[in-house]
Amino acid sequence: MYGKPRKYTNGEITVYWKPSECIHATYCYSELIEVFNPRKRPWINMQGASTEEIIKIVNKCPTDALTYKWNKDIDKEKCMPVGKKEPEIITEIKIMENGPIIIKGSFKIIGTDGKELRQMKVATLCGCGNSGNKPFCDGTHNKRGVKN
């Protein structure tokens, strides 16, 4: 349904796009259409702006559907010893205006049956009550007439 994750590079950084995490918050294409243009294929043109401008917009993505890494760091990761522990992440909860509730960090989401729904580091929970994928946001809040 959502497609597989994709990556795009300009030689300095690689931008990763996870369609399944995208809630169409629109920061990317409304603020930098030269790079993020959903009407074009591929929809990300890494030559459309400077690395700094791209990073600024990617950092605005509330769900981490868009992330980036410096290419020099990617090369270092390939040489990293197996089993290196990631630093502890502080959990952050962000309420989007007329949108979802975004949780980032280390957490579990337990369903009404008491079972863990899935393990994740970022979750977007429906804030409007109209998602077809409750408790998760599916972008329905962006459709005309839906308000939180």
Say if 130 falls within a structural domain: yes
Going by pLDDT thresholds of 50, 70 and 90, the confidence category of residue 1 is very low
Q: What is the mean pLDDT of the chain?
A: 84
What pTM, to 2 d.p., does this model score? 0.64
Has residue 97 got a pLDDT over 70?
yes
Residue range 132-141: average pLDDT?
A: 85
pLDDT digits (tens, 9 = 90+) for 61-77: 988 899 999 998 886 66
pLDDT digits (tens, 9 = 90+) for 108-129: 888 888 888 877 788 888 888 8
Tell whether 13 and 62 lie within a shared domain.
yes
Say if 83 falls within a structural domain: no
Say if 16 falls within a structural domain: yes
User: Rg (Cα) of the chain, in Å, rounded?
Assistant: 17
Q: Pick from 29, 48, 20, 16: which is nearest to 123 by CA? A: 20
Q: Which two tokens stand for residue 111?
A: 């369903």
Has residue 107 got a pLDDT over 70?
yes
**pLDDT at residue number 137:** 87
Tell me which of 32, 47, 78 is where a domain ends: 78
pLDDT digits (tens, 9 = 90+) for 14-37: 999 999 888 888 889 999 999 999
Tell me which of 55, 78, 101 is where a domain ends: 78
Q: How far is CA 11 from the centre of its chain?
A: 22
What's the sign of the alpha-carbon dihedral 68, 60, 89, 97? negative
Q: Which domain holds residue 31?
A: 6-78
Say if 1 falls within a structural domain: no
145 Rama class: left (phi>0) / alpha (psi -120 to 50) / beta: left
Query: H or E element: which one contains 74?
Result: helix 71-78
- For 76, residues 6+ apart whose C-beta sits below 8 A from its C-beta are none
Q: What is the CATH number of the domain that holds 13?
A: 3.30.70
Backbone angles phi, psi at 103, to 5 degrees: -115, 125
Query: H or E element: which one contains 124?
Result: strand 116-125
Tell whether 14 and 55 lie within a shared domain.
yes
Could you tell me the end-to-end alpha-carbon distance of the chain, in angstroms, rounded to an integer? 25
Number of domains within the chain: 2
42 cis-preceded (ω within 30 degrees of 0):
yes
Tell me which of 78, 100, 134 is where a domain ends: 78
**pLDDT at residue number 82:** 53
Tell whether 112 and 62 lie within a shared domain.
no
